[in-house]
Every structure is written in C-alpha cells, then in structure tokens.
C-alpha cells in the first residue's frame, strides 16, 4: 500500500475541493434545484474571501441566472446556520449592489437575485434526509400571533451514504463523496487507525473510479484534509467541554462573568496547544482559527514558559496581561 506523508498544512475543505470545478458545481446545483443548466459559464462564483463568520472557509457561494446560492458543508449539527446565512447574504448583497452600481436610495425598485441556502450534512449523528432551519426559531419572542420582519431558511440535506438516494443518483460526484467518507468510517469501525483507514479508502476508491480524478491529483492534500477535520472535531468537542467546566467552576457568585471569560479564553488556548502539538505552525493555526498570528505566538510562548500550567491558568495570565497592557 502506498503511504502518503501527512504534513497537516491547512489547505481547504474536502467538500469544496470536490466541487471546485464549475462543471461539478453546476451538476450539484441541477441535482438540488431540479433545473437542467448545461453551460458551466452560466455559473458565477461569488464566494466571499476570508468571511470571518465562516472562518474555516467551507462555504461555496455562486450565482446561476437569477438565483444566489450559498452551499455549506457541516459535519456537526448547528442550529445557528440561518444566523450565519443572514450575515453572509447581507455581505454578498452589499457587494452585489456596489459591483452593479445599484441605487438603494432611489425611487426605482432594484432587482436582486433570489437567495437559496443549502447545508450539506455528513456528521455521525443520525438525522433525517432533510431538515429546515429557520432564523425565526432563534427569536426570543416566540408568540405565534406575532411575526418578525426577517426570516432566513437553511435547508439541511443529509449526504451520508444511504440517505437521499434520488439526489445522489442525480449527482455522481456527490454520491462518490458520500461513498468515500463512508469507506473511511467503515475502515475505522473495523479497528483501523485513522491514517490507515484513509489510505485504504483512497486506494480502493481510485481503483473503482470513485472521486479518482481528485484522489489521484490531490492525494496528499485529501489525506491531510480528512485527518485534520477528524482531529478538529475531537479537539473542539474537548475544548467546548473544558470551557463549560471552567465556566462552571469559576463562575460562582460575583466571579461568574470573569469565569465565563476565562473559560472562553481557555478554549482557545486548548485548541492552539493541540494544533501545535500536531506540528502546525503559528501562521497556519492563526489562519484556521481566524485570529491574529501574534496572539497565537503569545499563547505558544506562554505554554513554553509556564510548563505545567493548565489551559485555564494560561488563560488567566493572558486576560491579566490584556487588562494591564503588558502583552508583548
């Protein structure tokens, strides 16, 4: 079996990589929307660069005729997707209005493309084939007799192998993606280490013509992406639990707010510590977490200086430095 050297440098999400070509993205759009466009030039990529609320860069935004589409891939359930979508569409429309010289202060009605928001879910938690997430579900006021003036709906589509068979049959690339991910999980369930599970899935899929073009051309990058995403999910789960615990322990009586702040900071410290331990450099860590490189270096320097200190203790030092203005 050919072994791939995993360097863990962050590149891009596997889902975006699978649909980076206009032909494949248009095929996915046709499968989801039921339309039958054939010219890839009808599709215009509108993905925002370094959108901070989509910091992991796993979004694909594009125009087809009169429809503005936002596609996102998620490996965990997030009920806040409509909130994120609202922010994203607001920025995209602002850019569209500026680029086309539209006058929002005039007497004439401007024309805008219709938004569609699709979330492709392939997490391990069992979910229905389709779920509609609504911005209005987040409103504090849930009086059925009152309607807010804003709504944003995200359609979450389960793309795990075995779900949405008709959709998969209409888009071979999406079906291949689901098969590839499922093979990795099946290999893990048989007791393989993650690195071995990925290698075997890559080899078998190439041999069977499943995502073969991507896997042959970008073998090391694909392995890198899969390993990073799996590690990231575990790290974030651990970090969130640590932050909750820190907030509970430190958030008593008058120290409640301070404890919450330290808990959030401790979460960042834990993630940075874990990423550095896996060989990622400060710039890559800063890029993945959408934070400043000097901050990451400051955390790493503290971890090196204060060996034995917990993440919560390091967080306390960082916050104290911020308050006293002593950060380097």
**167 lies in the same domain as 74:** yes
Evaluate whether residue 203 is within a structural domain: no
Over residues 20-38, the pLDDT tens digits come to 899 999 999 999 999 999 9
Q: Are 17 and 221 in contact (CB under 8 A)?
A: yes
**31 lies in the same domain as 164:** yes
**32 lies in the same domain as 168:** yes
Residue 8 has pLDDT above 50, yes or no: no
Residue 101 has pLDDT above 90, yes or no: yes
* Of the candidate ranges 43-52, 187-196, 298-307, 308-317, the one whose mean pLDDT is the lowest: 43-52
Q: Record the tokens describing residue 199, joined without a space.
A: 């290698």
Residue 13 has pLDDT above 60, yes or no: yes
SS3 63: strand
Amino acid 263: pLDDT: 77
Radius of gyration of the chain (CA): 22
How many structural domains is the chain composed of?
2
Evaluate whether residue 312 is within a structural domain: yes
Residue 202 has pLDDT above 90, yes or no: yes
Task: Compute the distance between CA of residue 163 and CA of residue 194 in angstroms, rounded to an integer.
Answer: 24
Evaluate whether residue 301 is within a structural domain: yes
Of 148, 174, 200, which marks where a domain is finished? Answer: 174
Going by pLDDT thresholds of 50, 70 and 90, the confidence category of residue 5 is very low
Evaluate whether residue 149 is within a structural domain: yes
Q: Are 219 and 201 in contact (CB under 8 A)?
A: no
SS3 116: strand
Task: Compute the distance between CA of residue 327 and CA of residue 302 in angstroms, rounded to an integer.
Answer: 11
Amino acid 281: pLDDT: 81
Q: Which domain holds residue 257?
A: 238-324
Half-sphere exposure (Cβ direction) of 183: Cα atoms closer than 13 Å: 20
Q: What is the CATH number of the domain that holds 252?
A: 1.10.10
Q: Are 205 and 214 in contact (CB under 8 A)?
A: no
Evaluate whether residue 258 is within a structural domain: yes
Average pLDDT over residues 154-168: 96
Residue 41 has pLDDT above 80, yes or no: yes
Average pLDDT over residues 131-157: 91
118-131: buried (b, 16+ CB within 10 Å) or exposed (e) per residue?
bbbbbeeeebebee
Residue 83 parent element (H or E)? helix 81-99
Of 132, 155, 174, which marks where a domain is finished? Answer: 174
**20 lies in the same domain as 164:** yes
Sequence-ordered alpha helix ranges (H) in 171-218: 172-189, 194-207, 212-217
Amino acid 290: pLDDT: 74
Q: Record the tokens describing residue 22, joined without a space.
A: 């206009």
pTM value?
A: 0.69
Query: What distances in angstroms separate CA 196 from CA 178, 188, 190, 193, 271, one per listed residue?
Result: 19, 9, 11, 5, 25
Task: Compute the distance between CA of residue 48 and CA of residue 70 in angstroms, rounded to an integer.
Answer: 11
Average pLDDT over residues 250-259: 54
Task: Compute the distance between CA of residue 34 and CA of residue 18 in angstroms, rounded to an integer.
Answer: 20
Residue 255 has pLDDT above 60, yes or no: no
At a CB cut-off of 8 Å and minimum separation 6, what does 21 contact? none
């Amino acid at each position: 079996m050919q072994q791939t050297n995993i360097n863990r440098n962050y590149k891009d999400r596997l889902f975006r990589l699978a649909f980076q070509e206009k032909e494949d993205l248009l095929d996915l759009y046709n499968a989801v929307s039921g339309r039958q466009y054939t010219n890839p030039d009808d599709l215009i990529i509108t993905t925002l660069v370094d959108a901070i609320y989509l910091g992991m860069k796993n979004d694909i935004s594009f125009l087809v005729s009169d429809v503005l589409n936002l596609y996102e891939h998620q490996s965990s359930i997030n009920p806040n997707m409509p909130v994120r979508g609202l922010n994203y569409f607001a920025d995209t429309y602002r850019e569209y209005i500026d680029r086309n010289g539209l006058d929002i202060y005039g007497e004439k009605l401007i024309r805008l493309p219709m938004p569609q928001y699709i979330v492709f879910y392939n997490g391990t938690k069992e979910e229905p084939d389709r779920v509609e997430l609504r911005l209005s579900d987040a409103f504090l006021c849930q009086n059925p007799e009152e309607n807010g003036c804003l709504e944003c709906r995200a359609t979450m589509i389960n793309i795990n192998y075995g779900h949405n068979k008709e959709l998969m049959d209409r888009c071979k690339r999406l079906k291949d993606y689901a098969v590839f991910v499922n093979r990795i999980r099946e290999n893990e369930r048989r007791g393989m280490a993650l690195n071995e599970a990925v290698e075997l899935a890559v080899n078998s899929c190439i041999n069977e013509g499943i995502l073969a073009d991507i896997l042959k051309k970008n073998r090391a990058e694909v392995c890198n992406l899969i390993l990073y995403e799996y590690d990231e999910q575990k790290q974030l789960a651990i970090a969130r639990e640590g932050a909750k615990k820190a907030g509970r322990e430190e958030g008593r009586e008058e120290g409640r707010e301070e404890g919450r702040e330290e808990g959030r900071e401790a979460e960042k410290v834990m993630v940075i510590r874990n990423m550095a331990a896996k060989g990622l450099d400060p710039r890559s860590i800063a890029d993945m977490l959408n934070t400043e490189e000097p901050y990451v270096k400051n955390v790493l320097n503290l971890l090196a200086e204060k060996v034995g200190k917990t993440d919560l203790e390091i967080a306390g030092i960082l916050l104290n430095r911020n308050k006293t203005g002593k950060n380097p």
